[in-house]
Amino acid sequence: MRLIRSRPLSALVVSGAVLVIAGGAWFVGSGFGAVSFGWFTYSATTEVNFSDDIVALSRSGSAALVVLVLGALLLSAAGGYHLGQRRAQPSTSTTGPENG
């Protein structure tokens, strides 16, 4: 019976770990760089020069972070489930207050 209960938990841990590793590798591999948004600033009354280069996440980098966070959520859900199952098991101690 214990084997049946541990398989879904193991699958959850493995899939979460795979998603975290894949998302992290994808995020690192997506690279960072200047992104053009097609907008401009109007500064008729100031002498301030604005930079044309904005470093932001690309769609690929954003998707990689979503995959990474999803994997982290799966891992935390598996950990919480495991802790809940461990605390829900009845104690087998014979020195409790009901036994004297």
Q: Tens place of pLDDT for every residue, the chain, 100 residues?
A: 455 456 788 888 999 999 999 999 998 888 765 556 666 666 566 666 666 555 667 788 889 999 999 999 999 999 988 888 877 767 665 665 555 4
Nearest CA to 42 out of 30, 50, 34, 54 is that of 50
Q: What letter would DSSP give residue 49?
A: P
* Residue 84 near residue 43, CB atoms below 8 Å: no
Nearest CA to 58 out of 42, 35, 75, 38 is that of 35
Residue 31 CA to residue 57 CA, distance in Å, equals 9
Residue 6, both tokens: 């541990």
